[in-house]
Structure 1
C-alpha cells in the first residue's frame, strides 16, 4: 500500500460551478439508462463514473468537470436511480448493477478508467474482478465493502427485518410522506461531515431532482431492493466475497476515503488498500461518505496524480 499524492497540475474550471452535465437515455441490458457526458479535451481518456446507493449521475458533476481536460467521462444512472428507467424484471440485485456497468463499458468500446462511490465502488470492484479487460485503472471512493467486524447494530435481532420486503414497503410508504427538502437534508446529513461545504446551487439542484424522483413509481423499490442486495453481498462467503475479489485485482487502484464517514467505517480504508496488490490510499480529514461531493478538488488532484503515475510512457525513438 502506498500513500496517494496530489497533483499540482491545473484543473479545469476551479473557479466556477457548472450545471449538471447533459445526458441522454439509451437502451442497455433490456432497459433504459441515463448517461451524462463530460466531454474531455484533446488526448483525454475514457472514464465511467458509478454513483452510490440513493445517488445519481449528478454526484459527479464537479469532480468530472475538474478532470475534463484529462478524462472523457460518462456518468451512469443505475437502473431505478437518477433519470434511468426501472430495472428489467424489477431486478435490483448487485449482480444486475454489475451487468449494467459491464454493458455500459462494452457499449463505449472499453476499456475505461472506472470510478465508483459507495455502492458504485463495490460494483466497480466486482466488475474489475470479473472483466479486468474492461478496466484501465480503478478508483474507489468510500466503496461499500463489508466491515470485517460487523457493527453491533447488525447483530441485533431487529437488523434482519430490514431485509424483508414487507418492512421495505412500510419504509417506502413513510418516505412518500417526506418532502423533497426534508429528504435531501437527511441525505446530506448522512453523507457529508460539514454541511457548510454544500453550495446553494447544488442544494437547489438536489431538491429539484428529488421532486422528480418522488413521482417515479419505481424509485423507492429500487432503493429498498438495492439496499437488501447490498447487505446480502456483505454476507456472501467464499470466493464471491468482495474482499476476496478485491485481493485478486491487479489493476492500478486509487482509494479515497473521508475520516468522518458515517456509513462505511474508515478503518476499512487501510484494510482494503492493504489487500489490493497495486493500491494507493488517500484519507481526507473532516470529510464524510461522498468525498467527490464534499471535497472535489482534493479528489480530482489525487486522481490526476494517479493518472500521471500510471499512464504508460510514450516510447522515444532512437536517433538514426
Structure 2
C-alpha cells in the first residue's frame, strides 16, 4: 500500500456544472441496460467505466467523468433495477459483477479504467479480481467491502426489512408517506459530509430522479434485493472458500486507488485502509470533511488522484518523483489540504 498522489489542479477546466451526459439503451443478453457516455475531449483518451452504488445511478458520475474527459473516454452504466435499466432476476454481488463483465465484453472497450462507488466498489473488486484482463486500473470510492459492525452504517435501520416476509410492502408504504423532496434531503444529508456542497441544480435533479423511482414497481425490490446480496457477501467474506471478497481483492493485479471519506455514514471508515492493504498494488487517499460519495462531493480532488495514477503508469519506476504526504483534508472549494500522515 502506498500513499496517493494528486495531479495538478490546473489540469482541469474551471468549475462548472455539467448537465447529465447523454444516454442510450442497449440490449445485453436480452435485457435493456442504460448507458451514459462522456466522450473524450482530447486524443489518446483511454476507455473508462463508472459503476454507481446502492440506490444510485449513472448520474452519480456526471461531474467526475466530465473532469476526466481530457484523459478518459467514459461510460457510466445503470445497474439492473436502478436508474433506467430493466430489473434483474438476481441482485447478488456475483450477478452484478457478471453484468459489468458482460458489458465490457459487449462494448469491446476493454480493458477499461474501472471506477466503483459503494456497492459499485464491491462489484468492481469482484470484476478486477476475477477478470484482470478487463481492467487497466481500479478506483474505489468508499467501497462497500465487508465489515461486521452494523452500528457503523446508517443502513442498519433498513436491515430488519430483509428478514421480514413482506419487507418490500412495508418499504413501499413507508416511501408513500415521504415526498421526493424529503427523500432527497435525507439522502444528501446521509451521503454528504457537507450538504451545502450540493448546488440547487443538483438538488432539483436528485428530486426528479427520486420522483421517477417512485413510479417504478421494481425499484424497492431491486434496492432490498441488492442490500440482501451485499449483506450476504459480507457474511461469506469471513467463511472459507474462494467466494470471499477479501480473497478476491488480494488477487487484484491492476494498479488501484482507494478513497475513503472520514465522515462516511454508510461504510465503516476502517474499510478503505483495509481494502488498500488487501490489494497488492494500491494507493490510499483518506479525505477529511468528506462523506460517502467523494466523486460527487469533491470531484476535483478525486479527479486529481485518478490522474496521478494514470501519470504514474506512464513513467518508468526509476524515473518517478518522490511521493508526497497523504491528503487528508479538503478546502472550502474542493482544493486538497495536505496533512501529516
TM-score of the superposed pair, with normalisation by structure 2:
0.86
Is the CA contact (8 Å cut-off) linking 2:152 and 2:268 kept in structure 1? no
SS of the residue 1:196 aligns to: helix
Question: What is the correspondence of 1:1-320 to structure 2 with a 5 Å cutoff?
Answer: 1-8=1-8, 10-40=10-40, 41-87=42-88, 90-109=89-108, 110-147=110-147, 149-151=148-150, 162-236=162-236, 237-238=239-240, 239-311=242-314
Greater alpha carbon shift after TM alignment, 289-298 vs 2-11: 2-11
* CA distance in structure 1 between the aligned counterparts of 2:122 and 2:315, rounded to whole angstroms: 27
Deviation at 1:182, TM superposition (A): 1.1
* CA distance in structure 2 between the aligned counterparts of 1:271 and 1:233, rounded to whole angstroms: 16
* CA distance in structure 1 between the aligned counterparts of 2:15 and 2:22, rounded to whole angstroms: 20
Greater alpha carbon shift after TM alignment, 183-192 vs 72-81: 183-192
| Structure 2: runs of 5+ lacking an equivalent | 317-341
Is the CA contact (8 Å cut-off) linking 2:192 and 2:297 kept in structure 1? yes
* CA distance in structure 1 between the aligned counterparts of 2:159 and 2:219, rounded to whole angstroms: 23
Greater alpha carbon shift after TM alignment, 169-178 vs 260-269: 169-178
Deviation at 1:220, TM superposition (A): 1.1
The 3 A distance-change label for structure 1 pair 152 and 189 is: closer
* CA distance in structure 2 between the aligned counterparts of 1:31 and 1:163, rounded to whole angstroms: 29
The 3 A distance-change label for structure 1 pair 62 and 161 is: closer
Deviation at 1:160, TM superposition (A): 5.7
SS of the residue 1:138 aligns to: strand
* CA distance in structure 2 between the aligned counterparts of 1:252 and 1:272, rounded to whole angstroms: 13
The 3 A distance-change label for structure 1 pair 277 and 79 is: same
The 3 A distance-change label for structure 1 pair 216 and 252 is: same
Greater alpha carbon shift after TM alignment, 293-302 vs 27-36: 27-36
Deviation at 1:153, TM superposition (A): 8.0
Deviations 1:245-284 (A, max 9, x none): 1112121100011011111111111111112110000011
Deviation at 1:173, TM superposition (A): 2.3
* CA distance in structure 2 between the aligned counterparts of 1:310 and 1:163, rounded to whole angstroms: 46
| Structure 1: runs of 5+ lacking an equivalent | 314-320
SS of the residue 2:70 aligns to: coil
Deviation at 1:11, TM superposition (A): 4.0
Deviation at 1:159, TM superposition (A): 5.2
SS of the residue 2:65 aligns to: helix
Is the CA contact (8 Å cut-off) linking 1:194 and 1:286 kept in structure 2? yes
Deviations 1:50-93 (A, max 9, x none): 00000000000000000000000000000110111222xx3222
* CA distance in structure 2 between the aligned counterparts of 1:15 and 1:296, rounded to whole angstroms: 10
The 3 A distance-change label for structure 1 pair 17 and 152 is: closer
The 3 A distance-change label for structure 1 pair 80 and 276 is: same
RMSD (CA atoms) = 1.8
